[in-house]
């Protein structure tokens, strides 16, 4: 047979041949070619195949001896990287040595089975040797101990330092012993006894054991289904377990062990080690390779003697000395653990040396390693109330190396209510029983180990909650392994039972989210502090998709998720992810997901008010009625007098004497002085004169005797019809105030919310009110007003609204000042105007209804006032009637980085100029020329300033200034970009048509001849299309809109305006273009997803100039439309298209600077040339002509070429 091995990098043929053993007497065949010995230093390359065959002759003793020795050398080289057994040493505390020797034995067996030692003589058989290096469970020193709630799979912590030992040799006197250890001190000291070897092994054992203690947590635990990885612990051989006894002790594994490495015993010097204080026992681990090879190739026994000395720190003269003789005769590793009991307990010094010097014989192997040194101290920790497991594992083919995590199914046994009594030690996941157990505390012999440790809790409320949790299938299964306060733990438990902690009864209890609670209070104008009623709506972007994470047992207790969209959203853009610790059931997670989605719909407002001391009787979770003009209206008042069946009210109610047949029954809600509620259908009492209303009513259901009788003025009432019951709310906050009042906060009590508690993630959540008003946009404009003594800005805010808009308020705050109401809007009004200074920042908020009681969602913007940078507008008309204009070009220095314009006094327009005098002659002041009309900015004068002055009446040209004329004011009109081009501009156009006869027929895409950036003029627009958005449409009419992005071609003009396809924009609130850059080699961008009205698609920007400089590549554009569907307002997008790199016939021709020079010449200033549109002629200095052409290729690459008879004389630089 032949065995193939892998040579190390840089190896040669000679590395595989040991002349001391083979004499070089072998054949080397490399890749099928016989290689002469002189060429054995040839390096081996990747893929080479080397075969070594010994010459058959051998020597006089054994012709196959050379084969065996060479085979051993090759095996050793392949494993250990050296050609000599003697040079191998002992690697990795002896583990690698075992691999090498076993490998050598196997190769010998394969080469020469007829002459194997052992077939005709008593020698060793190859044995598998296994090792363990530890487990995968974690140790968490100084961290909180585990606390299991309910039932959960637990991966326990290491409860002590893990350690390994070798199987203990047989007692002294038995034949296979190879060492002698006299006992010192009382044996045992209560420490674990080393296991006996699995098989007789002279002088040692091939077995290794891993010792571990696992901590499962606090409390009364039931642990089952122990597993290593995903396999049952009982599936493994050589595993011993022991649970702690009543005192928490474990005899199988030591709980207080210090381990440190020993040393390689390669000479006869002492190697010392020192134990920790209080040590009562030490253990020394040895590994060795002990054998020799005789002339027949058989292994023979070999011994090494060690000396061991030890003495206590308390008496360095009390030295104990021992001798160990290690004997072995196999190639398998020699492994041995030697224990010593120490008396007295304390700190000891232990040292070891070999007295047998290492052999220099190539056939003798006597490497010895002191592998580990362990010192044992008594474990005096208090383990009361803790569950611990001792585990001893023998290394085997099943378990070797680093073993997988140990885990178990753990149940916390707690008292539970069975309907009549508390029953101890029950397996339960009911949040109520776990909450109570934690609140009362986990005790052992009267000592509090964990939990709050209260003496009593609100058992009555907890029993109700527990029964409700059982009905709804709510559970809490959790492993607490981190620092949390008691309040946080109680809140975590309560959350899984849809509850929150509460002390409203004076004892710890909960408020749980129970459906169908009976109303217990009424608040209206009679018991609400005047002016205290507020309604807050959740504004801003809310989540459109709800994701709930929970621990899934089927995924090895990793997180899994359930998700659903909120109602009426099909393509969510905003996702809220909630982690529900304690939930391990998919159905429970799905219910929480549905309820969270329902909250987005039904709990979007908070109702706040203040009341008198009676509010102290309110508690979170109570349900009652709320009647106020801001939220539900209705007629309310007080009882003036009456009995239990007939009442006189403080004001009349609508109660017709002859009601219509379809009129719903009238009801009266009474709030009695003791807090009781009573509801009854009512009828007109006798004596009511008005046929339509009355203040005297008869109760169909008199106030029962069990309730307080109506007391004049102290009894409140609310009139309603059967189909319009007063608003029900649930109290969520009760806060006493310093002035004696109580502030209450509530949410809407909606039955549909509780119906969402189902595991069906597709359940419909009905929209209860689909037309709540809201503001989703604010457009602002300025007008500069001359007050005669200065200027003010008139700021106008125009609102974009949706829903049932019935007016609202606009509030504003200047700079850091307070917010004030600046405009009140009536039904139908969407515009408010107020005055502000000429500079500053305004924060503006528009609210449906009122700021005190919003009727829907508000919207806010921040605006920088332009002031004097805004054109003046006066009563009058165009130039020549009310306002005069003047223009001048200035260098860039007049404009600061922050936009401040500063004109030197000697260059400012003169108030003494006559009216319109610039129309006949421009005026130059200190190098600056003022003109009657604008001119294009230049590179040297990039800032165009526009000046205005007020000229009342109808002055004629050259009329002298009048006292009533205003002073000149000025602002930046146009700023020339650095590259000389105007920034891109979006052009929106609109068309109104009667609805076409054939559905789906749209008008043709409009065209325009050109767009002039100055003065914002679109020329040649298709007839009937206009740039002004239609403000109103007649019934049946359709409005179409489209947009284009104008790009300056370098002359202030875009002569190739291209519009997007028309779309119906009856429901389009705005049309816009967004931009991004995409590298040439990247894929084309896809259509962006819909976004909220106040957001922009990820990676896209509102203007090209806003794209970060790090984003390179071609410019892409995407048209988007702001659309409204009910209350849903969002941007929808067209497919993106390239604004650069397209066919020049459709997109703008780029301007490409080309520099041309005569061959070999330098570059004079005049040779810079920009071909535009694509071809031009350049006349060189001596009159020579050359034609320069630019061609736009694929992906926007421009190729410039020179043509003409003289082209060869020039080159493009």
Q: What is the 3-state secondary structure (H, E, C) of 637-662?
A: EEEEEECCCEEEEEEEEECCCCCCCC
| Higher pLDDT among residues 261 and 987, named by residue | 261
pLDDT digits (tens, 9 = 90+) for 103-157: 222 233 333 333 333 323 344 444 566 777 778 899 999 899 999 999 999 999 9
Q: d(Cα 447, Cα 158) in Å, to the nearest integer?
A: 24
User: Would the pTM count as exceeding 0.85?
Assistant: no
Q: Output DSSP code: residue 359.
A: P
Average pLDDT over residues 730-744: 92
Q: DSSP for 674-695?
A: TS-EEEEEEEEPTT---SSEEE
| Higher pLDDT among residues 112 and 979, named by residue | 979
Question: Which of 35-39, 383-387, 649-653 is predicted with the least confidence, judged by mean pLDDT?
Answer: 35-39
Q: What is the pLDDT of residue 577?
A: 92
On whether the CB atoms of residues 668 and 682 are closer than 8 A, the answer is yes
On whether the CB atoms of residues 870 and 783 are closer than 8 A, the answer is yes
pLDDT digits (tens, 9 = 90+) for 550-594: 999 999 899 999 999 887 788 888 899 999 999 999 999 999 999
| Higher pLDDT among residues 334 and 89, named by residue | 334
On whether the CB atoms of residues 632 and 607 are closer than 8 A, the answer is no
Domain with CATH 2.60.40.10 in the chain: 774-869
In this predicted structure, the answer to whether residue 283 has a pLDDT above a threshold of 80 is yes
Q: What is the pLDDT of residue 304?
A: 93
Q: d(Cα 279, Cα 1012) in Å, to the nearest integer?
A: 95
pLDDT digits (tens, 9 = 90+) for 409-424: 999 999 999 999 999 9
Most confident by average pLDDT, 210-224, 392-406, 816-830, 986-1000? 210-224
Question: Which of 440-454, 639-653, 686-700 is predicted with the least confidence, judged by mean pLDDT?
Answer: 686-700
Most confident by average pLDDT, 200-214, 431-445, 929-943? 431-445
Most confident by average pLDDT, 192-206, 1054-1068, 1173-1187? 1054-1068
On whether the CB atoms of residues 855 and 806 are closer than 8 A, the answer is yes
pLDDT bracket for residue 172 (50, 70, 90): very low
Q: d(Cα 23, Cα 26) in Å, to the nearest integer?
A: 8
- Helix H segments across 473-534? 486-496
Q: Output DSSP code: residue 50.
A: E
pLDDT digits (tens, 9 = 90+) for 857-872: 788 888 888 776 554 4
On whether the CB atoms of residues 569 and 1130 are closer than 8 A, the answer is no
On whether the CB atoms of residues 264 and 369 are closer than 8 A, the answer is yes
Q: d(Cα 1186, Cα 1202) in Å, to the nearest integer?
A: 7
Q: Residue 1185: beta bridge partners?
A: 1179
Task: Pick left, alpha or beta for residue 284 (phi over 0 → left; psi -120 to 50 → alpha; otherwise beta).
Answer: beta
Helix (H) or strand (E) holding 391: strand 386-394
Where are any strands of DSSP class E within 397-537? 401-403, 406-417, 422-427, 442-444, 447-450, 478-480, 499-502, 509-512, 522-523, 534-537
The sign of the CA dihedral 651, 654, 655, 656 is positive
Q: What is the pLDDT of residue 128?
A: 65
On whether the CB atoms of residues 1100 and 775 are closer than 8 A, the answer is no
Question: Which of 484-493, 664-673, 692-701, 1142-1151 is predicted with the least confidence, judged by mean pLDDT?
Answer: 1142-1151
In this predicted structure, the answer to whether residue 1176 has a pLDDT above a threshold of 70 is no
| Nearest residue to 966 (alpha-carbon basis) of 784, 789, 782, 794 | 789
In this predicted structure, the answer to whether residue 216 has a pLDDT above a threshold of 90 is yes
Q: Residue 242: beta bridge partners?
A: 390
Most confident by average pLDDT, 22-26, 94-98, 1082-1086, 1166-1170? 1082-1086
Query: In the chain, what percentage of residues exceed pLDDT 90?
Result: 32
Question: Which of 54-68, 471-485, 803-817, 998-1012 is predicted with the least confidence, judged by mean pLDDT?
Answer: 54-68
Q: What is the pLDDT of residue 1141?
A: 58
Question: Which of 160-164, 457-461, 807-811, 870-874 is predicted with the least confidence, judged by mean pLDDT?
Answer: 870-874
Range 585-598 burial, b when 16+ CB lie within 10 A, else e: bbebbbbbbbbbbb
On whether the CB atoms of residues 160 and 253 are closer than 8 A, the answer is yes
Class of domain 774-869: mainly beta
Q: d(Cα 744, Cα 533) in Å, to the nearest integer?
A: 10
Q: What is the pLDDT of residue 1150?
A: 40
Q: Output DSSP code: residue 220.
A: S
In this predicted structure, the answer to whether residue 452 has a pLDDT above a threshold of 70 is yes
Q: What is the pLDDT of residue 684?
A: 85
| Nearest residue to 618 (alpha-carbon basis) of 704, 511, 508 | 511
Whether the link from the prior residue into 1015 is cis, omega within 30° of 0, is yes
pLDDT digits (tens, 9 = 90+) for 751-762: 889 999 999 998
Q: What is the pLDDT of residue 893?
A: 87
Question: Which of 163-172, 322-331, 706-715, 1043-1052 is predicted with the least confidence, judged by mean pLDDT?
Answer: 163-172
Residue 1150 CA from chain centroid, whole number:
44
In this predicted structure, the answer to whether residue 547 has a pLDDT above a threshold of 90 is yes
What tokens appear for 679 in the block? Answer: 């509801």
In this predicted structure, the answer to whether residue 735 has a pLDDT above a threshold of 50 is yes
Q: What is the pLDDT of residue 205?
A: 66
What tokens appear for 283 in the block? Answer: 């253990």
| Nearest residue to 194 (alpha-carbon basis) of 283, 275, 255 | 283
In this predicted structure, the answer to whether residue 538 has a pLDDT above a threshold of 90 is no
| Nearest residue to 543 (alpha-carbon basis) of 519, 564, 512 | 564
On whether the CB atoms of residues 699 and 645 are closer than 8 A, the answer is yes
| Nearest residue to 149 (alpha-carbon basis) of 451, 515, 558, 473 | 451
| Higher pLDDT among residues 1035 and 1039, named by residue | 1039
pLDDT bracket for residue 882 (50, 70, 90): low
983: helix, coil or strand?
coil
Averaged pLDDT score across all residues of the chain? 78
Whether the link from the prior residue into 1173 is cis, omega within 30° of 0, is yes
Average pLDDT over residues 194-205: 46
Average pLDDT over residues 477-488: 94
Q: Are strands 943-951 and 1154-1158 parallel, antiparallel or unpaired?
A: unpaired
Q: Residue 389: beta bridge partners?
A: 214, 243
596: helix, coil or strand?
helix
In this predicted structure, the answer to whether residue 273 has a pLDDT above a threshold of 70 is yes
φ, ψ dihedrals at 391, nearest 5°: -135, 125
In this predicted structure, the answer to whether residue 191 has a pLDDT above a threshold of 90 is no
Task: Pick left, alpha or beta for residue 568 (phi over 0 → left; psi -120 to 50 → alpha; otherwise beta).
Answer: left
Q: What is the pLDDT of residue 781?
A: 85
Q: What is the pLDDT of residue 94?
A: 31
Helices vs. strands in the chain: H and E counts, helices first:
8, 74
φ, ψ dihedrals at 792, nearest 5°: -130, 160
pLDDT bracket for residue 391 (50, 70, 90): very high
Q: d(Cα 90, Cα 102) in Å, to the nearest integer?
A: 14
- Helix H segments across 881-1022? none
| Higher pLDDT among residues 1173 and 870, named by residue | 870
Half-sphere exposure of 883 (CA within 13 A, CB side): 19
Residues whose CB falls within 8 Å of the CB of residue 455, separated by 6 or more in sequence, listed in order:
440
In this predicted structure, the answer to whether residue 242 has a pLDDT above a threshold of 90 is yes
In this predicted structure, the answer to whether residue 1170 has a pLDDT above a threshold of 50 is no
Q: d(Cα 113, Cα 294) in Å, to the nearest integer?
A: 18
């Amino acid at each position: 047979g032949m065995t193939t091995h892998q040579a190390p990098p840089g190896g040669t043929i000679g590395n595989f041949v040991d002349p001391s053993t083979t004499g070089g007497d072998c054949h080397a065949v490399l890749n099928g070619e016989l290689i002469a010995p002189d060429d054995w230093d040839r390096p081996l390359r990747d893929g080479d195949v080397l075969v070594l065959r010994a010459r058959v002759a051998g020597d006089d003793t054994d012709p196959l001896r050379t084969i065996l020795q060479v085979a051993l050398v090759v095996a050793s080289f392949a494993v250990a990287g050296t050609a000599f057994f003697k040079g191998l040493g002992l690697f990795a505390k002896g583990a690698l040595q075992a691999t090498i020797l076993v490998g050598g034995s196997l190769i010998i067996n394969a080469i020469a089975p007829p002459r194997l030692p052992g077939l005709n003589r008593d020698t060793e058989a190859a044995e598998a040797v296994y090792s363990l290096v530890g487990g995968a469970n974690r140790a968490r020193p100084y961290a909180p101990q585990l606390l299991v709630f309910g039932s959960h799979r637990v991966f326990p912590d290491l409860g002590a330092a893990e350690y390994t030992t070798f199987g203990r040799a047989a007692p002294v006197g038995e034949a296979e012993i190879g060492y002698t250890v006299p006992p010192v001190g009382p044996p045992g000291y209560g420490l674990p006894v080393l296991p006996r070897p699995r098989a007789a092994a002279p002088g040692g054992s091939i077995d290794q054991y891993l010792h571990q203690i696992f901590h499962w947590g606090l409390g009364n635990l039931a642990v089952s289904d122990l597993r290593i990885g995903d396999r049952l612990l009982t599936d493994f051989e050589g595993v011993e377990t022991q649970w702690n006894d009543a005192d928490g002790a474990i005899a199988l594994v030591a709980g207080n062990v210090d381990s440190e490495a020993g040393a390689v015993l390669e000479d006869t010097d002492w190697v010392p080690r020192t134990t920790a204080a209080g040590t009562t026992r030490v253990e020394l681990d040895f590994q060795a390779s002990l054998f020799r090879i005789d002339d027949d190739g058989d292994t023979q026994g070999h011994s090494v003697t060690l000396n061991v000395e030890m003495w206590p720190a308390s008496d360095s003269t009390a030295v104990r000395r021992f001798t160990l003789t290690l004997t072995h005769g196999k190639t398998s590793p020699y492994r041995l653990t030697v224990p010593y009991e120490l008396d007295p307990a304390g700190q000891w010094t232990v040292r070891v040396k070999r007295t047998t010097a290492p052999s220099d014989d190539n056939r003798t192997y006597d490497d010895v390693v002191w592998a580990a040194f362990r010192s044992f101290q008594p474990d005096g920790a208090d383990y009361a109330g803790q569950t611990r497991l001792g585990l001893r594992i023998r290394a085997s083919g099943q378990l070797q190396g680093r073993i997988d995590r140990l885990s178990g199914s753990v149940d916390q046994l707690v008292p539970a209510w069975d309907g009549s009594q508390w029953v101890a030690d029950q397996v339960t996941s009911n949040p109520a029983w776990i909450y109570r157990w934690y609140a009362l505390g986990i005790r052992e012999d009267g000592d509090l180990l964990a939990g709050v440790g209260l003496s009593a809790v609100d058992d009555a409320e907890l029993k109700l909650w527990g029964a409700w949790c059982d009905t709804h299938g709510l559970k809490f299964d959790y492993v607490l392994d981190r620092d949390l306060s008691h309040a946080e733990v109680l809140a975590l438990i309560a959350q899984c039972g849809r509850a929150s902690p509460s002390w409203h009864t004076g004892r710890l209890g909960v408020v749980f989210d129970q459906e169908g609670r009976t109303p217990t209070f009424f608040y209206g104008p009679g018991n609400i502090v005047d002016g205290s009623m507020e309604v807050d709506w959740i504004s801003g972007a809310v989540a459109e998709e709800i994701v709930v994470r929970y621990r899934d047992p089927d995924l090895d207790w990793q997180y899994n998720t359930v998700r659903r969209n909120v109602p009426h959203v099909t393509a969510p853009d905003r996702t809220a992810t909630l982690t529900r610790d304690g939930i391990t059931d998919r159905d429970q997670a799905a219910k929480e997901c549905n309820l969270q989605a329902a909250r987005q719909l039904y709990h979007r407002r908070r109702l706040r008010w203040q009341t008198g001391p009676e509010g102290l009787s309110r508690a979170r979770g109570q349900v009652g009625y709320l009647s106020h003009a801001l939220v539900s209206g209705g007629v309310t008042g007080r009882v003036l007098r009456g009995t239990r069946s007939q009442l006189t009210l403080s004001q009349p109610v609508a109660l017709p004497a002859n009601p219509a047949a379809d009129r719903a029954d009238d009801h009266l809600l009474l709030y009695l002085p003791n807090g009781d509620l009573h509801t009854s259908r009512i009828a007109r009492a006798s004596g009511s004169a008005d046929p339509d209303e009355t203040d005297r009513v008869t109760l169909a259901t008199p106030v029962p005797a069990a309730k307080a009788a109506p007391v004049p003025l102290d009894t409140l009432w609310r009139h309603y019809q059967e189909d319009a019951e007063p608003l029900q709310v649930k109290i969520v906050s009760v806060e006493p105030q310093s002035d004696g009042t109580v502030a209450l906060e509530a949410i809407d009590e909606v039955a549909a919310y509780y119906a969402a508690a189902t595991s069906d993630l597709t359940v419909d959540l009905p929209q209860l009110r689909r037309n709540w008003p809201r503001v989703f946009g604010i457009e602002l404009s300025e007008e500069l007003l001359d007050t005669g003594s200065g200027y003010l800005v008139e700021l106008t805010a125009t609102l974009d609204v949706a829903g049932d808009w019935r007016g609202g308020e606009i509030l504003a705050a200047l700079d850091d000042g307070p917010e004030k109401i600046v405009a009140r809007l009536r039904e139908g009004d969407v515009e408010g105007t107020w005055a502000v200074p000429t500079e500053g920042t305004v924060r503006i908020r528009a609210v449906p209804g009122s700021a005190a009681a919003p009727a829907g969602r508000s919207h806010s913007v921040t605006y920088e006032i332009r002031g004097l940078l805004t054109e003046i507008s006066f009563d009058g008309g165009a130039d020549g009637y009310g306002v005069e204009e003047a223009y001048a070009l200035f260098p860039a220095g007049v404009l600061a980085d922050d936009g401040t314009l500063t004109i030197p006094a000697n260059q400012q327009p003169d108030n003494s100029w006559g009216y319109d005098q610039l129309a006949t002659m421009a005026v130059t002041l200190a190098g600056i020329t003022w003109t009657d009309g604008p001119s294009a900015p230049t590179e040297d004068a990039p800032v165009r300033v526009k000046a205005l002055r007020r000229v009342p009446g109808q002055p004629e040209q050259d009329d002298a200034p009048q006292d009533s004329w205003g002073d000149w004011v000025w602002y930046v009109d146009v700023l020339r970009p650095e590259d000389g081009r105007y920034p891109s501009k979006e052009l929106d156009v609109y068309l109104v048509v009667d609805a076409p006869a054939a559905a789906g027929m749209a008008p043709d895409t409009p065209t325009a001849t050109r767009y002039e950036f100055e003065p914002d003029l679109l020329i040649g627009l298709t007839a009937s299309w206009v740039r002004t958005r239609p403000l109103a449409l007649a019934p049946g009419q359709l409005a179409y809109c489209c947009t284009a992005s104008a790009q300056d071609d370098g002359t202030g003009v875009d002569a190739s305006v291209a519009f997007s396809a028309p779309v119906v924009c009856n429901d389009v609130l705005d049309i816009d273009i967004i931009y991004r850059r995409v590298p040439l080699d990247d894929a084309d961008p896809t259509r962006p997803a819909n976004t909220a009205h106040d957001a922009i698609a990820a990676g896209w920007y509102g203007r090209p100039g806003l794209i970060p400089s790090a984003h390179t590549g071609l410019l892409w554009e995407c048209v988007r439309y702001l659309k409204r569907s009910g209350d849903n307002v969002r941007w929808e997008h067209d497919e993106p298209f390239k604004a650069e790199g397209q066919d020049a016939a459709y997109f703008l021709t780029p301007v490409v600077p080309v520099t041309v020079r005569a061959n070999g010449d330098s570059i004079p200033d005049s040779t810079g040339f920009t071909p535009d549109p694509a071809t031009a002629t350049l006349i060189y200095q001596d009159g020579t002509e050359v034609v320069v052409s630019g061609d736009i290729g694929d992906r926007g690459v421009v190729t410039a070429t020179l043509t003409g008879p003289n082209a060869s004389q020039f080159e493009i630089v």
